[in-house]
Homo-oligomer: A and B are copies of this chain.
Amino acid sequence: MIVTATQSDGAQIQEIAARAGVFNQEEIDCVREIWEDYLSTGPEECGYHFIVERGDAEKVLGFACYGPRDLADGVYDLYWIAVNPDTRRGGVGRRLLTASEEAVHSMGARILIAETSGTPLYEPTRKFYLGMGYAAEATIKDFYSEGDDLVIFTKHL
Contact = CB atoms under 8 A, between A and B. Distances in A.
Among the interface residues A70, A110, A113, A140, which one has the most CB atoms of the partner chain B within 10 A? A140
Interface stretch (A40-48, A51-59, A71-79): A71-79
Number of copies: 2
Contacts of A150: 72
A66 B67 CA distance: 23
Interface stretch (A12-20, A82-90, A121-129, A141-149): A141-149
Contact of A27 (B26, B71, B154, B156): B71
Nearest to A141: B137
Interface residues of A, number: 26
Contacts of A152: 138, 140
Among the interface residues A110, A137, A143, which one has the most CB atoms of the partner chain B within 10 A? A143
A110 B146 contact: yes
A72 B113 contact: no
A83 to B, nearest CB: 20
Interface of A: 26-27, 30, 70-75, 110-111, 113, 137-146, 150, 152, 154, 156
